[in-house]
Structure 1
């Protein structure tokens, strides 16, 4: 048996009275977190949820997320975490595509009405049987006191389905096994300072691969205290760091940039007691890395991974000076190489697409064998990222194979946005590209050819998009054109559009 829920079970057994979660003025011990998780597991079992069933979970960084996450695993079901910013039609797509049997949804707040959005998505879905609320207004009913034993799942069984846009098509669910998720938590724990008094700020969304494996799962495995922040705000994050004595922080580059600004505004205040700082999701600018180290007195460790790799695959080794711009070397039990379009290994001094093999690789895309076969061969997963490798085995990402946009650490797939744009009656043709952004790395820009006889404004089209897609996806700028650059076969030359914004020379 190897069930991912054993991470919580073990720490609750070893440290029942230790604080597991801090949320506002609330403190929850490991014993209390386990008890809450068992309550939710009873509710799920009472609704007929069992081994192999998919259960969608829409919840911000509040105590109910880990409780529900491990409850789903406990009954042998598969967790399908949903981005809390999804709109109803997007929620419905994820429920249908995953074939979820139940949907656990946090009741939300006035600023984040998850219950309202979740219910609307559930009502649009075809096959999901149960809509269950979490949180204050939706406290789970008690289905008795009989304990729910942990289902003895095998290491190769699916534990989590993480949806990722990747580089082609609509969002796809990467199936991650119990074994790969447990190993990833253990590898992350091995990478960082293993202190019994670790206090970790959980600002990264727990529905995201990075926050899930490298913060929540690793932290609970270690028996650390997780300080939950539902939505990142740099001033609030600094306040929490000082108040709770935070020793560990993981974030994407935009978070580090914001923390520097917030710290500078508190002139004369000592930095918080950070011992470990971890960055991933996108390349951390060298200037930000150096400034953060000077201001906070801790080196930022950069790493690399994807939803399909559970996610940790490569990291700058702890205890060694960071190599600015490098994503580090493969972690324990993982191999990496650079390949060309034909899957052939490129010379040591060349550039190629990163391919990864190891315990962290997904089983495949849920119900998409063709998509899986296109990226996995002989155990190797091709990432779509182009990199170089130095003589010491450190990797440096230099480009992307496809048009993926990374906005503030979130993957944004242009085609998905284009498909929504073209449903607007006033849009004739649309192309979406990533453009440089000072704090988010990239932002989303749309080029639009209006339909004949229509009048569109940038503000109106952006507002229309906001109603139909998650906040991190919708275009922040729209440029109207009479025509778009095309190949001889009629495909839009997005590289030319991107080059206009990056100041590059468009390819011939």
Structure 2
């Protein structure tokens, strides 16, 4: 580990000692917490509670069942599960055996599942009942050795299918976990679509994931109490953010994981009122739902003493509104699948800068570089590079993309950012999303932040679209707040008051919704593709 004490952000850490990562496998998180907090509630799900002792027992029995079926270290097991205790049990059972967890969205189609399974060579699959049809379609083309069905008392799906419930109650328990090399052995393959839509599997080791859990705990300092926190887990666990910042971190500190199957605002608010969670790692669409709920102040959100936001930038206006309504500060941060995922967070002590992603988490080095890879001074826009113990080993079975993204230990993120004199970083956009009009660089996030300031705008997205005369122009997509009539000329005037003329969108479009993935991340590439298809059809009609 390099000495980072001369970096401007090092002063925020509570110790001057070099950050150390415990060299332990992921399964040891559960072992330690079950030993220290055996009778404490580990999981609450739909008003059912499970203690740490019960959780470990289910994990060990499932691992023993899988071992008896031939599962061995290094084989890939796909978890195609929504939020349910079976996800947590399956995840840690896989880690106990040294299996590699492949994260799979249970809403994936047969085509998407086949792509992931073929790329990662999945041998075993744990599946939601609602995803069985897609699995059956793929099973005619791709062979899974065993398929384990969640929430099924008995399997009735035919040969190769097993009831996960039966295996969790095996008469045998795991005698000892598989030996793990924490630096070399892969724990998780986390697929990411990036901005291109082509999926790549980020290879995350036990060391990567443990490092990020400890880094996250370190950033919260004395605010996170061992054996006492309740973690509101509404983001899908198959997403790296919830996997690390909710599940793994929650179990590492002996906390209670308040597991929400699907984010429905009324259900979430009812859970908050009943179980009083203290920590909430959320995503923008969730915070937006809170601030737009008319009765949010009646549900006791003041129980939440720590909030973080991941997956996508959070508009400043939503931050201010949420904090005004609840009294809970949102610690903005930054992360990506390739970094397990957290790399930056606003500190709990010292200055919190709204709109900034904060400072690098402990043990992490960062710099801003130009197009030639040369480090830039403060307050200059360039590509964000990151180095640290949480950075992936590479992309699964993809040396070309690995060599492009990892160079001399640095992860080239593809994100455009700046750093101020105090070591706080600001994301201004993606390299591939930056719009160039008349030789001027336009960063969509800046324009979006201005649109969010308008009282009638609920959501906004800004992209560059094809233009025959200029190559591309700026277009804004707007989702109005409920019961609001949006006057586009008024919004355009609002932009002219706040932005230099060349940054003001030339086109506006009202939408009922914006395309997002299941975590709430805005899929701008779909908007751009729509415009390209529209332009091609227009040209085709003109030729006809």
Q: How does the TM-score come out when normalised to structure 1?
A: 0.79
Alignment map for 1:78-477 (pairs within 5 Å) = 78-107=100-129, 113-125=130-142, 127-137=143-153, 138=163, 139-141=165-167, 144-156=171-183, 157-168=185-196, 170-192=198-220, 193-195=223-225, 196-262=227-293, 264-266=294-296, 270-403=300-433, 436-438=477-479
Deviation, 1:267, is 6.0
1:272–1:342 CA distance, 2 compared to 1 (3 A): same
Deviation string, structure 1 residues 438-464 (Cα, Å, up to 9, x no partner): 499xxxxxxxxxxxxxxxxxxxxxxxx
Deviation string, structure 1 residues 92-143 (Cα, Å, up to 9, x no partner): 1111111111111132xxxxx1222233334332x53221212234323355
Give me the whole-angstrom Cα distance separating, in 2, the residues matched to 1:343 and 1:158.
30
Deviation, 1:28, is 0.3
Deviation string, structure 1 residues 279-298 (Cα, Å, up to 9, x no partner): 12111111111111111111
1:374–1:17 CA distance, 2 compared to 1 (3 A): same
Q: Which has the larger radius of gyration?
A: 2
Give me the whole-angstrom Cα distance separating, in 1, the residues matched to 2:537 and 2:421.
43
* Structure 2 match to 1:481: 534
Give me the whole-angstrom Cα distance separating, in 2, the residues matched to 1:346 and 1:475.
33
Give me the whole-angstrom Cα distance separating, in 2, the residues matched to 1:309 and 1:92.
25
1:254–1:211 CA distance, 2 compared to 1 (3 A): same
1:175–1:140 CA distance, 2 compared to 1 (3 A): farther
Alignment map for 1:42-53 (pairs within 5 Å) = 42-53=64-75
1:358–1:482 CA distance, 2 compared to 1 (3 A): closer
1:471–1:245 CA distance, 2 compared to 1 (3 A): closer
**Aligned pair count?**
431
Q: Which structure has the highest helix share of the two?
A: 2
Deviation string, structure 1 residues 249-273 (Cα, Å, up to 9, x no partner): 11111111101122x3356554341
* Structure 1 match to 2:97: 75
Deviation, 1:435, is 5.8
2:213–2:245 contact (8 Å) kept in structure 1: yes
Q: How does the TM-score come out when normalised to structure 2?
A: 0.74
The more displaced of 220-229 and 340-349 is 340-349
* Structure 1 match to 2:87: 65
The more displaced of 188-197 and 94-103 is 188-197
Structure 2 stretches of 5 or more lacking a match?
1-22, 154-162, 435-443, 446-462, 464-471, 482-514, 540-544
Give me the whole-angstrom Cα distance separating, in 2, the residues matched to 1:389 and 1:118.
46
Structure 1 stretches of 5 or more lacking a match?
108-112, 407-413, 415-430, 441-464, 487-508
1:329–1:436 CA distance, 2 compared to 1 (3 A): farther
1:43–1:140 contact (8 Å) kept in structure 2: no
Deviation string, structure 1 residues 396-431 (Cα, Å, up to 9, x no partner): 00021125999xxxxxxx9xxxxxxxxxxxxxxxx9
* Structure 2 match to 1:417: none
* Structure 2 match to 1:495: none
SS at match of 1:183: helix
1:98–1:287 CA distance, 2 compared to 1 (3 A): same
Deviation, 1:37, is 1.0
1:87–1:121 contact (8 Å) kept in structure 2: no
Deviation, 1:167, is 3.6
1:41–1:148 contact (8 Å) kept in structure 2: no
